[in-house]
Amino acid sequence: MIYFRYVGVTVFVDHFSDYVYVHLMRDLTAEATLEAKNAWEQLAGTHAVRIQRYRADNGRYADPLFLQDIKDNAQQITFCGVGAHHQNGIAEKKIRDLVENARTQLIHAMHLWPGVIKQVLWPFALKAVVRAHNKYKLDTNLLSPEEKFSRLKVNQSAKEEHTLFCPVYCLDAKLQGGVAGIPKWEPRSRLGIFVG
């Protein structure tokens, strides 16, 4: 079995709705960044949203491969000045808030369950924070970023939510099918962790 570890993310923030999409990346190449862009645009397309322009740092977003894709899709891109992250303040602030909240969740879980929760689970914490932001960060009209982005009313029910990294007991597969045969004193489930 081959394990892949994520080494970074590309964060997309829709300025109108405040909707956030994070794309987990196994490497930081131009191809991986373009893959992130395409995944974001595919997600937006499922909500009938067409991405028309980007505001980005230099670096990977100024690579010829990325710029050619922008051109091929009749999109526009503007760049921040070198070392001028304040010129893209909305995205930079969102990245900082997401990372701080994910770090808080992960460190809290590591404190409560140190033998199981490890730093390698940071992608799950980040995705959980983004999901909560998109579903539950309501504006003055009581609309979430998800609702504004998709232009659809979404049923927000906290009853069906689970705490990230909480213990989960999974029933033994032999019992799921109704087959008897597990000895009386053997465990009937295995312990896992909820990761979303």
* pLDDT averaged per 10 residues in sequence order, the chain, 196 residues: 79 94 94 95 95 89 93 93 74 93 95 91 95 93 94 82 85 70 78 84
Looking at the chain, list the stretches that DSSP marks H as alpha helix, in order from N- to C-terminal side. 30-46, 64-72, 89-112, 122-136, 145-150, 173-176
Q: Which pair of tokens denotes residue 2?
A: 């081959």
Residue 181: predicted pLDDT: 66
| CA separation for the pair 126, 99 (Å, rounded) | 7
Residue 2: predicted pLDDT: 56
| CA separation for the pair 10, 24 (Å, rounded) | 7
Residue 100: predicted pLDDT: 97
Residue 91 near residue 11 (C-beta atoms within 8 A): yes
Residue 182: predicted pLDDT: 72
Strand partners, 20: 13
